[in-house]
Amino acid sequence: MGPDPAVAAVRLAVRSALGPLPPGSLVLAACSGGADSLALAGALAFEAPRSGRPAGAVTIDHGLQDGSDVRADTVVRTLAGLGLDPVGSIAVSVGTHGGVENAARNARYDALDGAAGRLKASAVLLGHTRDDQAETVLLGLARGSGARSLSGMPSSFTRPAGDDGASVSYLRPLLDIDRVTMRRACLAMGLEPWDDPHNDDPSYARVRVRHEALPALEKALGPGIAEALARTARMLRDDADVLDDLAERAYAELADLEGTGADTGTDTGSDTGSDVFVGIRLDGLGDLPRAVRTRVLRMAAVRAGSPPGTLAAVHVDAVDRLVTAWHGQRHVDLPGGLRAFRRYGRLLFGPA
């Protein structure tokens, strides 16, 4: 008799994720102790030895709740009991910049980067599910974001692991599995998940989407909303990948300046010569399809130093009007103390 269908589904997803990784390389699971990541860890503990790979796990203590260190120790013991090795917890300090959720996410990934780099892990597995993907898409929709944001979370991505130029691969093998299946898998494996009280705190937008928005959509439109949103995200990601590739090519053809203010004939008021300007030739820029052109403009602004997290569609649209609807307007102010303006047949991005 085979395993419970929920367990089989999670194991199959993990097995598929392990397949392309280097033989014999260490794989880590990031585990909070919740049902999703705990089922992931259990499946990894089963599949990794069968694929000839060592497997470990890391839990992050964010210190945001009383007794979080005790909870982290409990998770470590559970992970060790699964046969994962090495296992450990990492305590992080969560700031306030960008909100608690964003600060906690940044601290968590920094800690995982460090652990993967020290242990020379080939990949870190994350327990995000189809429901998480659906919530991400709705949050992006509420922000009025474009295809890249609505494409949700990628199934894989990389982050720098340290100063040596190495990178960490992150994999999300569970994006096609729902949260109910993950909890059922935990029960079938004899694992007792921890329910984070933050997951029921309506002060967080994601919690409101989970407990209010998605159920309302299911009631109004029928079942299968989460699955449909996740499927939409996959299709939009394919589209966004193609558009980004076209924009990279267009940027390479049209960008003819990346340097200091002295190169533009502009007085920046700086004696350091460190102010970066990016210039895009206007000739040809206006002929690009808008979906490609706005991506080129965003690339130029980011490369000039505008923070991508605060560079919004409204900023890019205003810059686009300097290309397509210019009537002598002087400039557009951008996040990060930058400014976009026309000069000498170029659209320039540089310090205000």
Strand partners, 123: 27
pLDDT, tens digit (0-9, with 9 covering 90-100), for 238-259: 999 999 999 999 999 999 876 6
Coarse DSSP helix, strand, coil percentages of the chain, rounded to the nearest 5 percent: 50, 15, 35
Q: Is 121 annotated as a binding residue?
A: no
Q: Is 37 annotated as a binding residue?
A: yes
pLDDT for residue 143? 74
Residue where the block lists tokens 């729902």:
178
Cα–chain-centroid distance for residue 182? 21
pLDDT for residue 166? 77
Looking at the predicted structure, is the pLDDT value of residue 273 above 70? no
Residue where the block lists tokens 């499946």:
43
pLDDT, tens digit (0-9, with 9 covering 90-100), for 194-240: 888 888 889 888 999 999 999 999 999 999 999 999 999 999 999 99
Looking at the predicted structure, is the pLDDT value of residue 71 above 80? yes
Distance CA(11)–CA(39), nearest Å, equals 9
Looking at the predicted structure, is the pLDDT value of residue 150 above 50? yes
Distance CA(115)–CA(112), nearest Å, equals 5
pLDDT for residue 82? 97
Looking at the predicted structure, is the pLDDT value of residue 272 above 60? no
Maximum average pLDDT range among 88-102, 191-205, 222-236, 267-281? 222-236
pLDDT, tens digit (0-9, with 9 covering 90-100), for 312-346: 888 999 999 999 999 888 899 999 899 999 998 99
> What mean pLDDT do residues 90-118 have?
85
Q: Is 32 annotated as a binding residue?
A: yes
> What mean pLDDT do residues 165-179 have?
92
Between 179-188 and 130-142, two packed helices, what is the crossing angle to 10 degrees? 150
Whether the Cβ atoms of residue 112 and residue 30 lie closer than 8 Å to each other: yes
Looking at the predicted structure, is the pLDDT value of residue 278 above 50? yes
> What mean pLDDT do residues 22-38 have?
96
Maximum average pLDDT range among 40-54, 149-163, 218-232, 243-257? 40-54
Distance CA(299)–CA(235), nearest Å, equals 23
pLDDT for residue 260? 57
Q: Is 36 annotated as a binding residue?
A: yes
For the chain, list the domains and their CATH numbers: 5-223 (3.40.50.620), 242-351 (3.30.465.60)
pLDDT for residue 63? 78
